[in-house]
């Protein structure tokens, strides 16, 4: 069993107005096989948390720790984090012109595993994973995310998740911009990955809709750069009814 531990994490970002504090002491522990939903209003710093875990250079950690089975994640490069088993499905997946999906996936798989997968098995795996995500085979030969619709990009992120088989996945608003059918397909992919390898999941979302398909063990309310409340699945139902106002108001009063 693996443990991803975040303690008192503080992150700043450089803006045109100067250095801005975004994460203000985030605490979170995710163990193998657990699904944690992190829910919060827009601008609260959810993507900043995701990027900080992944090691995006724009985000500076000014305090706190992230460890994976006791290993210092913050001391690792982006590549080392991926090899250690961390995966990020981005809210806004980037296009990579000139690199086909197939080549990208194979290169990533080779880098993470330390050896190239056999072509025969790999071709079969990619084809099978794409079929399950109802992706047209033509997407294999297309450049990564180039000209993909929002929903196609999200599917492509889950394709990577299923093929790269990380230990922990951060899914940043994988549900946003998906119609109900696509949401189901993407959720099934996440659930397959979860069941196949005891994947630990940090499911970042603004809406409760995806939680009908992906059942969280824990729900965290994230407001103004930190966790405001933690609970079980029933907390998501309460958020659905009450929204985030209560948490935001509490911050403004104090
Ligand atoms: P969320 O994902 O919860 O909507 P974000 O992490 O994207 O929140 O953003 C949190 C705050 O940090 C916002 O006010 C946003 O404008 C700011 N921010 C995040 N990343 C950057 C950046 N690269 N440059 C400038 N401001 C940023
Ligand atoms: Mg589980
Ligand atoms: Mg975001």
Ligand with smallest separation from the Cα of 244:
1
ipTM of the complex: 0.95
Ramachandran angles phi, psi of 31, nearest 5°: -105, 160
- CA–centroid distance, residue 198 to ligand 3 (Å): 26
Q: Which residues contact 193 (CB under 8 A, 6 or more apart)?
A: 158, 161, 162, 165, 169, 199
Pocket test for ligand 1, best of 9, 45, 56, 88 (most atoms within 8 A of CB): 45
Q: What is the pLDDT of residue 252?
A: 78
pLDDT tens digits, residue range 132-159?
999 999 999 999 999 999 999 999 999 9
- CA–centroid distance, residue 253 to ligand 3 (Å): 25
Q: What tokens were used for 26?
A: 């985030």
Measuring from each residue's beta carbon to the nearest atom of ligand 1, which residues come in under 6 Å? 13, 15, 22, 40, 42-48, 58
Write the residue with the smallest CA distance to atom 18 of ligand 1: 13
Write the residue with the smallest CA distance to atom 7 of ligand 1: 47
CA distance linking residue 68 with residue 75, whole number of Å: 11
Domains and CATH numbers, the chain: 3-253 (3.40.50.300)
Q: What tokens were used for 94?
A: 């980037």
pLDDT tens digits, residue range 7-47?
999 999 999 999 999 999 999 999 999 999 999 999 999 99
- Ion ligand 3 neighbours (CB, 5 A) are 46-47, 91
Ramachandran angles phi, psi of 234, nearest 5°: -65, -25
Q: What tokens were used for 72?
A: 């210092």
């Amino acid at each position: 069993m693996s443990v991803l531990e975040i303690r008192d994490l503080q992150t700043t970002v450089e803006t045109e107005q100067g250095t801005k504090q975004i994460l203000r002491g985030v605490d979170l522990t995710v163990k193998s096989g657990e699904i944690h939903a992190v829910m919060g209003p827009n601008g609260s710093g959810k993507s900043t948390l995701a990027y900080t875990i992944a090691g995006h250079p724009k985000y500076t950690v000014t305090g706190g720790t992230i460890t994976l089975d006791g290993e210092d994640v913050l001391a690792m490069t982006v590549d080392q984090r991926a090899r250690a088993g961390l995966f990020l499905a981005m809210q806004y997946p980037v296009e990579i012109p000139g690199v086909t999906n197939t080549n990208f996936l194979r290169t990533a798989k080779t880098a993470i595993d330390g050896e190239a997968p056999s072509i025969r098995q790999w071709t079969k795996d990619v084809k099978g994973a794409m079929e399950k995500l109802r992706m047209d085979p033509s997407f294999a030969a297309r450049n990564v995310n180039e000209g993909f619709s929002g929903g196609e990009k999200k599917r492509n992120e889950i394709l990577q998740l299923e093929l790269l088989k990380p230990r922990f996945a951060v899914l940043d608003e994988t549900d946003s911009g998906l119609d109900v059918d696509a949401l189901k397909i993407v959720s099934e992919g996440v659930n397959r990955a979860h069941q196949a390898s005891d994947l630990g999941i940090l499911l970042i979302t603004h809406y409760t809709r995806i939680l009908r398909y992906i059942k969280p063990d824990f729900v965290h309310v994230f407001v103004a750069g930190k966790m405001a409340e933690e609970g079980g699945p029933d907390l998501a139902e309460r958020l659905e009814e009450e929204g985030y106002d209560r948490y935001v108001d509490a911050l403004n009063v104090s």
